[in-house]
Amino acid sequence: MKTGRYNVGVGLLVMAGFMLYGFLLIYLRDFAPDHEAWAASYASGKHFEARLAHVHGALFSLLNLALGFVLAKLVTASERARRIVAGLGIAGLLMPVGILGEVYLGLPPVLVLLGAVAMTAAVALSGALALRHWTEAAGAMAGTRRG
């Protein structure tokens, strides 16, 4: 069973990317030639949007890690349902990527909305599946029950 593996792997890689982006934000705030202007726009404009992307990138990366580990416990749920949750979780990463697209490329917010809806659906569906199919994975796979 590999469902959820990509959520963990992609979640960790995207987390690393947004951590590096955090270093860029620190540079822009403290060391760039016009860092005073950047810091002055703390609560508005591109600076605010860039911080939103950073925060949501980190959060949605962590949510993908959680989804991956939850999916590993749902051994009695259908493979189709688990794949849908996994795919929605990965698609949720469109939100922070979409925010970056807005900030740096002037893209419309459609990716932000798609990512937000996808991640919300992934979390809700995984919650419903967990309530119905949560299994102690080691005992279920080995055919034994552990207490």
Amino acid in the structure at residue 108: P
We report the CATH number of the domain holding residue 11 as: 1.20.120
Flag whether 146 is in a domain.
no
Flag whether 77 is in a domain.
yes
Rounded CA-CA distance 53/109 in Å is 12
- For the chain, what percent of residues have pLDDT higher than 90? 76
Closest by CA to 17, choosing from 58, 52, 50, 70, is 58
Q: How many domains does the chain have?
A: 1
Q: Which two tokens stand for residue 69?
A: 């580990």
Model confidence at 17: pLDDT above 90: yes
Flag whether 145 is in a domain.
no
Flag whether 100 is in a domain.
yes
Terminal-to-terminal C-alpha distance of the chain: 23
pLDDT tens digit sequence for 122-146 = 999 999 999 999 876 455 454 544 4
pTM for this one?
Answer: 0.86
Give me the domain span that covers residue 56.
5-139
